[in-house]
Structure 1
């Protein structure tokens, strides 16, 4: 049994990870500030569910240094899974200073607390966006990445570098996880799959940026949770892991599958490519397989079928 702090624990990925840890007997403290990046009522509903399952819930902000000091003292944690962040490539272009403040300064405040306490493990949620305009695919953790093309990506890469610095200076065990386009039940409503399913069911036009040939490595939430838990259990030294499905689907193919799963022909609104978007994301997961036993297996069609079933249940 471990005492685990999960920042952003009321969010999409965080609530699922919380449930997984509670189910195996860990004590979990969920920290969230319930900001209005999307409807806070969604996160509050997630929070009530994990609280009912046994999690402790704390409303607070990772940028509050004094509040974090009190929380770490009271919690006596064994590990921190840091999922709290300002998310999204396109919104980061509009408010880069806020993204820097939350994603970089907030991470540093947590690392400062961890370095004062012996033995704490740190799992840091990074992103496949750090690969930026990488021309080599699939993407490997050993690739030379120096071409981030959005403020969001730059903040996540900065977080990885700060993590390595704190591991080097203070010996903190750290797993940095590069997530590849996570989807599934409770997904944020502005994310592509959630938005496309909603628009298809409501017979609204789906914006397709570019010619539909851009490809993403879509990763189902259950597979991501498995990778996060494994990275916690194998957290030692400083390691970066890709967590993806290791298969790619084009935007046009994904929209087609959405239509098939929903039983409705999508209406497509063709638009220009957006600044900050990359042509492809594609995870080389050989390291995570070898070291963690990570073995994702959910196809996009299966994952979307589960998501649509959940979405329809939410509609009542």
Structure 2
């Protein structure tokens, strides 16, 4: 069972699992056309809003999955008060609903997608800088409670800055840059001083699949990233070099986001528990991503 199966990471994960021969139950709040999803006839789509407790319970009982990959949520890192309730409901309430009902299903394994902006050793326990990160941190706390008290085999993976083919949210940096280049527009950017740990989407999918297939990951909270920090400015300039464009990025015309800090992954635990390490470097990943956008102009 993959929630958020029509989203960026969820759609890539669903395709991977489908290709492995798994019976995929793809869950989305919005109905999705099978042809557009690329999934085989084996995959089963469910339109469901997991913020509703009874809906979540009925869906889990109907599917009775071996593994739940919970990727659905409100993905918006803006520092706006108006996001407090949407992120709480979509990222925390839906997670608690799933955990609560999964606890009644013997043997079901739950894999959650956390946030690298949660307090953790790799960022010196820095407090959550956004409503989204706060909701994700709370969800991780509930996951650990369900694991300790009721033995639910739940794993939290915290990806860093995920990018790659299939990312359609133009508010995110890489899609915004790619679409600007294809339109012949010079992107308007911040100073570019923020440093990020960029991790390719298919590497993240690898980590999710591994976590779903081993008992060793139960009760674990693991970072998923490369351990390498690259500034936004360096990333933008690399993408522009790859594209061969004569356009130039316009740095400094958009204000930097408050409370931004470098978010890198502690790669050791995921390597030890899952045998996982990122394999796609930033330059190669950006080449693949830019080619994907160019093919779908």
Q: Structure 1-normalised TM-score?
A: 0.87
Match of 1:59 among 40, 47, 64: 47
The structure in which a higher percent of residues are strand is 1
More off after superposition, 195-204 vs 249-258: 195-204
**1:161 partnered with 2:141:** yes
Deviations 1:192-244 (A, max 9, x none): 1110111123232323223x221110100111110111111124531011111
Match of 1:184 in 2: 164
Q: Secondary structure at the match of 2:94?
A: helix
User: Which residue of structure 2 aligns with residue 105 of structure 1?
Assistant: 93
Taking the aligned partners of 1:125 and 1:46, their CA distance within structure 2 comes to: 24
Output the CA distance in 1 between the equivalents of 2:25 and 2:235: 36
| Matching residue of 1:272 | 255
Equivalent-residue separation in structure 1 for 2:196 and 2:168 (angstroms): 17
Structure-1 residue corresponding to 2:243: 262
Which of 25, 35, 53 in structure 1 is aligned with 2:21? 25
Paired residues of 2:197 and 2:263 also in contact (CA < 8 A): yes
Which string of whole-angstrom CA distances, capped at 9 and with x for unpartnered residues, describes residues 238-286 of structure 1?
101111122121111111011112111333141321134x221111111
User: Retained in 1: the 8 A contact 2:2–2:27?
Assistant: yes
In the alignment, what sits opposite 1:126? 114
Partner in structure 1 of residue 193 of structure 2: 213
CA distance in 2, matches of 1:305, 1:74: 42
In structure 2, what is the equivalent of residue 245 of structure 1? Answer: 226
Q: TM-score, normalised by structure 2?
A: 0.92
Distance across 1 between alignment mates of 2:147 and 2:96: 12
1: distance between equivalents of 2:35 and 2:48? 13
Residues 199 and 226 of structure 2 are in contact (CA less than 8 Å); yes or no, is this contact kept in structure 1? yes
Task: Work out the number of aligned pairs and report it.
Answer: 293
Does residue 314 (structure 1) correspond to residue 296 (structure 2)? The answer is yes
Which residue is 2:205 aligned to? 225
- In structure 2, the CA distance between the partners of 1:92 and 1:171, relative to structure 1 (3 Å rule), is farther
- In the alignment, is the contact (CA less than 8 A) between 1:10 and 1:46 conserved in 2? no
Unaligned regions of 5+ residues in structure 1, if any?
A: 35-42
Q: What are structure 2's unaligned runs of at least 5 residues?
A: none
Q: Considering only aligned residues, what root-mean-square deviation do their CA atoms show, in Å? A: 2.0
Task: Provide the secondary structure at the position in 1 that maps to 2:250.
Answer: strand
Partner of residue 193 from structure 1, selected from 174, 181, 184: 174
